[in-house]
Amino acid sequence: MDFAKELNRAVSTGKVYFGAKEALQRGEDAHLFIVSQDCPKKKELMEQSGDVPVFVYGGNGCSLGTLLKKPYAISVITVIDAGASNILDLGK
């Protein structure tokens, strides 16, 4: 699976939220959390995720933001609806 391609497809066709605060607020509706290695709330999120899979992205928040062509760092992506992507395969 091409991670960048599937992630961009999920963002454009599905329903995703950016940031640790959003992840903690919307966790009960999530199907997957994608967390950067340097996320300051990674431990808290992993403890509270319950049955929701957590995929730890191998780069930092800046590289995750760059991957999505955003001019800011992204520490957590909460996937509510994957849209036309196969991004949920990361949680298997």
Q: Is residue 91 part of a domain?
A: no
pLDDT at position 59 is 95
Q: Is residue 27 part of a domain?
A: yes
Spatial contact of 19 and 61, defined as CB atoms under 8 Å apart: no
Separation between Cα atoms, residue 72 and residue 80, nearest integer Å = 21
**Residue 6, token pair as written in the block:** 């599937």
**Which CATH number goes with the domain that contains 71?**
3.30.1330.30
Q: Domain tally for the chain?
A: 1
pLDDT at position 50 is 86
Alpha helices in 1-92 (DSSP H): 3-13, 20-25, 42-48, 61-67
pLDDT tens-digit profile of 21-70? 999 898 889 999 999 999 998 899 888 888 899 999 999 999 999 999 99
Predicted TM-score (pTM) above 0.95: no
pLDDT class of 86 with cuts at 50, 70, 90:
very high
pLDDT class of 73 with cuts at 50, 70, 90:
very high
Separation between Cα atoms, residue 70 and residue 25, nearest integer Å = 22
Rg of the chain, C-alpha, whole Å: 12
List the domain range (segments joined by +) for residue 73: 3-83
Q: Is residue 89 part of a domain?
A: no
Give me the half-sphere count of Cα atoms (radius 13 Å) on the Cβ side of residue 48. 15
pLDDT at position 46 is 86
Q: Is residue 92 part of a domain?
A: no
pLDDT at position 13 is 98
Q: Is residue 90 part of a domain?
A: no
**Residue 25, token pair as written in the block:** 């607020």
